[in-house]
Amino acid sequence: MNVVTLKKISEVLGVSVSTVSRALKDHPDISALTKRKVMELAHSLEYEPNINAINLRNKHSMLFGLIVPTISRYFYDSFILSVEEEGRKQGYSLLILQTGENADIEQNSIRICRQNRVAGVFACLSANTVDVEPYLRLKDVNIPVIFFDKVPELEDSIKVTAADAQAASMAADALLAKGKQCILAIFGNNQLSITRRRIASFSNQIALQKGVELFIEHAHNPLEATGLVERYFKKEQKPDAVFCMSDEILTGVMKGLQALHINVPQETGVLALSNGFFPKLYYPEITYVETSGYELGKLAFARMLQLIREEEVEKETTVGACLVEGGSL
């Protein structure tokens, strides 16, 4: 083992470990000469401090735990990216733990965060999280928790989410502004509060305009969305617009429209709530209301820093939505 430690450096130079330690941190007490010698040697030996020793001493690590159903696609990747970027600026790294929507793995992930004495946890609940308690108990060991996206319905936890209601009503407005008269709106899992909020807000907004027909449907995956499109576009009266609650639904809808050779936007308009990646895959690009995982990440990180610094933190914050025009409406 060729691992270099402060001790090794101190022995070579004939000084004490603490001198080396201080020299490396550019401590004002140490003479310029000593500093130079220490730094040079450390550099040439490729010294890297042992984080575990540092953490042990500090009683916390420069790691954040990030517990999430999946890192890929449809939203979380951009959240993670932005948390990682922000964290890097402050010297933090990310311990990413995917639960795959499995409650056992989720519980275990919380334990791993505890054992690692992470500086904080970013958590997005699994669809079937049974017990939020273990998250809350992290507070006992001084680990702050920020919930994002899929958050528990609890008063006293810190949550950051996209502005669902706002996004959904913006989408409705965009459809009405284009004079759409017969709208197929496809939403996701109705169990989730996020879905119910979006439906309520969307249909209320549509209802403001008399005479618009609205068909609300649910799809749990792209395939079901494709099926819905096939069903509705074989009808006598075809929808003149399709609204997709998520990227996942959007991909299913587009596949269905392609299969039926339906031209967008000539024969029907398409509008999605999206993070922005999938709409750009198509031609014409899909018009969407953006709920940015990236922005959400930035916000979550800011909240985390406040918690760590023991500043006052707002319990619930949302990031706004905005309409991004493609050519699909």
Q: Give the per-residue contact string, 14-43, with DNA (x = CB under 7 A; - = no).
A: xxxxxx-xx-xx--xxxx-xx---------
If one asks whether residue 95 binds DNA (CB under 7 A), the answer comes out as: no
Give, as ranges, the residues between 95 and 134 that touch a second copy (CB under 8 A): 95-98, 100, 105, 108, 111-112, 114-117
DSSP reduced 3-state for 232: helix
**DSSP H helices in 183-317:** 193-207, 222-232, 247-259, 293-308
In the bound state with a second copy, the residue whose beta carbon lies nearer, of 116 and 203, is 116
25 binds, among a second copy, DNA, none (CB under 5 to 8 A by kind): DNA
214 phi, psi to nearest 5 deg? -130, 125
116 binds DNA (CB under 7 A): no
Tell which residue, 138, 206, 159, has the closest CA to residue 178: 206
Long-range contacts of 192-197 (CB under 8 A, 24+ apart): 192/127, 192/150, 193/153, 194/149, 194/150, 194/161, 194/164, 195/245, 197/164, 197/165, 197/168
Q: Which is nearer to a second copy, 15 or 260 (CB)?
A: 260
Give the integer Cα–Cα distance in Å for 163 and 168: 9
Pick 28 or 211: Cβ nearer DNA: 28
**In angstroms, rounded to a whole number, what is the distance separating the alpha carbons of residues 226 and 186?**
10
The single-letter DSSP state of residue 285 is: P
Which positions lie near a second copy, rule CB under 8 A? 1-3, 46, 48-53, 55-56, 59, 61, 63, 70-73, 77-78, 80-81, 84, 88, 93-98, 100, 105, 108, 111-112, 114-117, 137, 140-142, 251, 254-256, 258-259, 277, 281-284
Which positions lie near DNA, rule CB under 7 A? 3, 5-7, 14-19, 21-22, 24-25, 28-31, 33-34, 47, 49-50, 53-54, 56-57, 59
